[in-house]
Structure 1
Amino acid sequence: MKGFRKSFISAALASMVALTAACGSGGGGSVGENKPQATKAANDNGNKQIEITFANWISVEDATKAAYEKMVADFEAANPDIKVKSLGIPFNQFKDQVLISSSGGNPPDVMMANQNFSAAFVGADIAAPLDGMLDADLLNDIVDGSKQGVTYDGKIMAYPWAPHPNALFWNKSLFKSAGLDPETPPATWDELITMAKKIAELKKNESGNPVYGLGINTASHSYSGNMLFRDVLTYGGQFIDDQNKVVFDQGDALKNALANIQELVQAGVAPKGVEIKDLRGMFIAGTLGFHIDSDVGRQIFRDTSGKGEAFDAEWGVTVVPPGATGRSETVFSEHQLLIAKGSKKQEAAAKFIEFLVSKEAMTTYHNMNGVMSARKSIAALPEMNDDDYATIFNKQMETASPFPAKNPVFDNAMKTASDMIILVTEGGQTPESAIGQVMPKIKELYAE
């Protein structure tokens, strides 16, 4: 773990400029077993406002900026003694910048993360345990799958904020053009592939743009590796076993998943060399029959299409159809919240997190962006299941698997795993050959 931290930070420092003193929380500090005491400023003057810094990416994304601003405004109105200073960092730069800033003694007080980022922050020893810092009832209210993913060596190191299970979107117009019933999505994985091929037979839409049946992430990126892992689940495989040993290449699941990707790309059913933003654009443009995405999809589709809620009539969403295991296999990414180990304002930071995961904040976030809650009590509320869209994603969450991302090298492993996709879609290699070349590198990352 220490070796990873040193090598990762050194590489990041060589290629990036660290965050400036805008983080402003100071360095040093340690985390005790009990809830931290109030800051000296708050003790000296009850009217003096405490400023906490919040590193996040949702404040700089158009789809979520308004919801973020409202949640922060509501928190500050209810807590006039605390001011939240946003450190908005683009997603692709987020992990590296937070690691560099924190290792340099200038951590943000609260850090947003996903599973991959949290593992890196915990591995770099910049996150504080939340046990004893947040209310015990709040910790006990986390849904089981999410709680498992944030527990490291028996300690809860991050609080799950908004889970994002991946479900299946389909384009109703392309269904009609391909002679399919636009109101009847596929019931099995094999049926999905058959329908995707039928849609791809259209070749082009009315504007002359190429039409594809199924969106697959085929670019060199860790997200492509994440989605390959999702495919492997459908074919009955796993990434690690109960002893945290890499078993990605055991059995036929990985080989079958790569063979399917290779076949679909070569046949023109799936596009080549694309990532999630490309697939979203194609789906919005009406040139992609099926697209697997999280619950943020609807708001992105509405905003980017320029059609708002009217665009909802052009697509449908359902759970990912079952494959080899007989159940709907998918993954969920998750926005998580951490408190910096070096923060001197941990009590105020904890209060901010408790608000962000509260009923008030989560209903705001849900109403504006359709997100769900990782708290059992809130996920079951009628207002969190207010339409068919929310119902589908809550149902999908029942069978969604967390990414096995506790090891901080997981993100690097997924980036490496995407090389197998490149080899079979662009390098002309067989799945067996791609696996043989890449899996030793993944196992080396895990010191196997």
Structure 2
Amino acid sequence: MKIFTTTLGVALLATAANVSGAFAATDLHMIMCGDDTTPGIAVQQTLIDEWTAANPDYAVDIEFVPWGQCQEKSMTLAAAGNPASLAYLGSRTLKQLAKNDLIIPVSLTDEEAESYAAPILGTVTWEGQQWGMPRAFSSKALWYNKGLFAAAGLDPETPPTTWDELLAAAKAITENTDAAGYGMAGASFDNTMHQFMTVMYSNGGEVINADGEIVFGSDNNVEALAFVEALVPYSEPGPIAYDRGKLEILFGEEKVGMLIDGHWLKGRISEDLDAGVVPFPAGPMGKSSSLLITDSLAVFKDSGVEDAALSLAKYLTSPEHQMAFDIAEGYTPIRTGPEVDALIDADATWAPFINVIPDGGPEPFVTDYVAMQDVLNEALQGVILGEVDAAEAVEYAAEELEAVK
């Protein structure tokens, strides 16, 4: 009988078995999207070593695959009947994997489920079941350049809290400085859609509701897309050429005054740049919100080691272990607790990203994520280029999205 422990004390019981070498351990094939150079990977490896010490029947074989090929490889192996045991991948893929019967539900206990904020758990939930263990998490907020605010005649200690104030600030910066007021993502890339979803959620909009119905064609979303349209004259020239990474460079060079981004931006700009960060302003029909994105550990079906793979996934994502991984990687912590309070006390820039979680919205759970991305980006680009108005773009997108749910 195999015993899957989650306590370090029991790990010592495995020592004798490891030394004896009397059996060959069964491999758990774990696919990791990304590479092995980030600080959190060392933390993860320590935890894996602890788990295998307590479960000597198993050896964890980690394969690092670049993000561009990782999710496709995981799906291809599973569809071919040779699945990995578990994989770290974007939660956006879970519904497609579940509908194709390629992964198993993770069967969270009440205590485990209650340790997550509901919107975070929503990123892995479909038809009342969870299909992955949240492993990495990000939220968004509004970064702004205090120096450009002052140069434009704005109070740098009074950042915008409404869309009207944000639009007025973008206009003032554009007209009174050499910078554009707002950094707008418009390229054919996922973070273009992500930036818009923070705007959308802050106006009470959705793409798909909890019942799996496409609800994109709402007045909330028409208003959100019209707000994007209103910002175009005060954004960098040619927004459809810019993704988030290019906008981060412009912000660091003080060529744009504001942008939506994650906490990681702090580490990508000079410490000499006087930047502030606040919750993204509330729209007329909503309240301040953010898109919430998770990556997850998914357990594949028919690997023959599903129980062991789920045990490992739960061990890695238990509250104390997950927090160590989050801090090492610089991710927004998935759970709350004293460590998170201490994080905010030490660095107040974390507050907008953590406090928004209860009011945030999940990355939409659809069966064809890339198709959804293409539909929404096409609607955004049409409005940015002035080829279609907001109402027409939302109506068309809502119809197209029916095919991807």
Please indicate the TM-score interval, normalised by the length of the shorter structure.
Answer: 0.7 to 0.9
Match of residue 265 from structure 2: 297
Match of residue 12 from structure 2: none
Q: 1:162 to 1:436 in 2, by over 3 A?
A: closer
Q: What letter matches 1:348 in structure 2?
A: A
- Match runs of 1:65-84 below 5 Å: 65-77=38-50, 79-80=52-53, 81=56, 83-84=59-60
Tell me, yes or no, if the aligned pair for 2:279 and 2:356 is still in contact at 8 Å.
yes
Q: 1:363 to 1:404 in 2, by over 3 A?
A: closer
Tell me, yes or no, if the aligned pair for 2:140 and 2:263 is still in contact at 8 Å.
yes
Which runs of no fewer than 5 residues in structure 2 stay unpaired? 5-16
Match of residue 389 from structure 1: 349
Residue 146 of structure 2 corresponds to residue 187 of structure 1: no
Q: What letter matches 2:232 in structure 1?
A: V
Match of residue 182 from structure 2: 214
- Match runs of 1:129-208 below 5 Å: 129-131=105-107, 137-202=111-176, 204=178
Residues 413-433 of structure 1 show CA distances to partners (whole Å, capped at 9, x for unaligned) of 232111111212236332234
Which residue, out of 260, 265, 279, partners 2:247? Answer: 279
Which runs of no fewer than 5 residues in structure 1 stay unpaired? 1-34, 205-210
SS in 1 for 2:135: strand
Tell me, yes or no, if the aligned pair for 2:216 and 2:394 is still in contact at 8 Å.
no
Identity rate of aligned residues, in percent? 21
Tell me by how many angstroms 1:317 deviates: 1.4
Q: What letter matches 2:275 in structure 1?
A: W
Match of residue 93 from structure 2: 117
Tell me, yes or no, if the aligned pair for 1:420 and 1:438 is still in contact at 8 Å.
yes
Q: 1:427 to 1:350 in 2, by over 3 A?
A: same
Residue 372 of structure 2 corresponds to residue 413 of structure 1: yes
Aligned counterparts of 2:22 and 2:332: Cα–Cα separation in 1: 36
Tell me, yes or no, if the aligned pair for 1:36 and 1:347 is still in contact at 8 Å.
no
* Higher mean C-alpha displacement, 375-384 vs 220-229: 375-384
Tell me by how many angstroms 1:117 deviates: 1.7
Q: What letter matches 2:42 in structure 1?
A: E
Tell me by how many angstroms 1:353 deviates: 1.7
Tell me by how many angstroms 1:332 deviates: 0.7
Q: 1:255 to 1:148 in 2, by over 3 A?
A: closer
SS in 1 for 2:181: strand
Q: What letter matches 1:324 in structure 2?
A: P
Match of residue 14 from structure 2: none
Q: 1:143 to 1:233 in 2, by over 3 A?
A: closer
Aligned counterparts of 1:122 and 1:37: Cα–Cα separation in 2: 27
Match of residue 329 from structure 2: 369
Residues 134-177 of structure 1 show CA distances to partners (whole Å, capped at 9, x for unaligned) of 66633442222222332333322111223312111112332233
Aligned counterparts of 1:137 and 1:48: Cα–Cα separation in 2: 35
Aligned counterparts of 1:423 and 1:100: Cα–Cα separation in 2: 34
Q: 1:67 to 1:149 in 2, by over 3 A?
A: closer
Q: What letter matches 2:98 in structure 1?
A: V
Tell me, yes or no, if the aligned pair for 1:220 and 1:418 is still in contact at 8 Å.
yes
Residues 244-301 of structure 1 show CA distances to partners (whole Å, capped at 9, x for unaligned) of 32221232x33332233233224545751121222222222322211212233334x1
SS in 1 for 2:28: strand
Q: 1:283 to 1:130 in 2, by over 3 A?
A: same
Q: 1:297 to 1:354 in 2, by over 3 A?
A: farther
Tell me by how many angstroms 1:218 deviates: 1.0
Q: 1:436 to 1:102 in 2, by over 3 A?
A: same
Tell me, yes or no, if the aligned pair for 2:160 and 2:281 is still in contact at 8 Å.
yes
Residues 353-390 of structure 1 show CA distances to partners (whole Å, capped at 9, x for unaligned) of 22322344333333333323334557766457643133
Which residue, out of 167, 192, 198, partners 1:230? Answer: 198
Which residue, out of 244, 268, 284, partners 2:212? Answer: 244
Tell me by how many angstroms 1:46 deviates: 6.9
Match of residue 316 from structure 1: 276
Q: Give 4+ residue runs of structure 1 displaced > 6 Å after superposition.
A: 35-38, 42-47
Aligned counterparts of 2:315 and 2:325: Cα–Cα separation in 1: 12
Q: What letter matches 1:374 in structure 2?
A: I
Which residue, out of 220, 223, 229, partners 1:262? Answer: 229
SS in 2 for 1:75: helix
SS in 1 for 2:35: helix
Scaled by the length of structure 2, the TM-score of the pair is 0.83
Tell me, yes or no, if the aligned pair for 1:372 and 1:379 is still in contact at 8 Å.
no
Match of residue 336 from structure 1: 296
Tell me, yes or no, if the aligned pair for 2:134 and 2:295 is still in contact at 8 Å.
yes
Match of residue 426 from structure 1: 385
Q: 1:83 to 1:136 in 2, by over 3 A?
A: farther
Aligned counterparts of 1:180 and 1:330: Cα–Cα separation in 2: 25
Tell me, yes or no, if the aligned pair for 1:413 and 1:445 is still in contact at 8 Å.
yes
SS in 2 for 1:255: helix
Aligned pairs, number:
388
Aligned counterparts of 1:154 and 1:135: Cα–Cα separation in 2: 13
Q: What letter matches 1:73 in structure 2?
A: T
